[in-house]
Amino acid sequence: MWEGIGSAIGGLFGYKGQKDTNVASAQQAKQQMDFQERMSNTAVQRRMADLKKGGINPILAGSKEASSPAGQQAPVGNKARAALEAATSAQNLKNLSEQEANTIANTNLVHANTDIAQNNYNASLGAAELGKQYRNYLQSAPGKIATKAAFYANSAKSITSAVSDLVPKLGSSYQKTPRK
């Protein structure tokens, strides 16, 4: 909402500025045309005065026509165009600011993704190193002993569990024999 207000204000200033420029141009053109008219109206008198000062017969001045300098036209700008350009300029500045913010955000995202990829790579190297260390341990004498102990412990648990399940089933048909 505020961006539109800024563009509108910029447009109004552009309109006012062009209007003031047009008024000043018209005033300057009027002054120039008045000067040219004075020069044209007094051309013969000035020529005669110049000839008298130079010691030449002033009658020669009457044989020449009065000069007519070129006219002046005031440059007039398009007020609506100036307003539109000012508003467009304000919008362009806003767009550039937003593009800069997007570029910064995208750059930060690229850096974050790079950091994540580096961390994943480092983690995979760590996992691979851990796997190598575990393999080396299992191939060492203590590792082999620990592996066999774990195997026998698991086997003993399995046997104990199987016997525990079997004893209640045999209980009704199995008679304990007294020991001698």
Least confident of 58-67, 103-112, 137-146: 58-67
* pLDDT value of position 165: 75
Instruction: Tell me the residue type at 164.
Output: S
Q: What is the tens place of the pLDDT at every residue in 12-36?
A: 566 777 777 777 777 888 888 888 8
Tell if the pTM clears 0.75, that is, is over it: no
Neighbours of 14 (CB within 10 A): 22
Q: What are the residue ranges spanned by the domains of the chain?
A: 2-118, 140-170
Which residues are within 8 A (CB) of 40 and not within 5 positions of it... i.e. 6 or more apart? Answer: 66, 67, 68, 69
* pLDDT value of position 112: 92
- Terminal alpha carbon distance of the chain: 105
Q: What is the tens place of the pLDDT at every residue in 50-96?
A: 778 888 777 765 666 656 666 666 666 666 666 667 667 777 788 88
Mean pLDDT (whole number) for 32-50? 79
Which residues are within 8 A (CB) of 15 and not within 5 positions of it... i.e. 6 or more apart? Answer: 79, 80, 82, 83, 86
* pLDDT value of position 45: 79
Neighbours of 29 (CB within 10 A): 16
Give 87: exposed, middle or buried? Use CB within 10 Å, 0-12, 13-18, 19+: buried
pLDDT band at 109 (very low <50, low <70, confident <90, very high): very high
Per-residue CA distances from 38 to 60, 63, 75 (Å) = 22, 20, 22
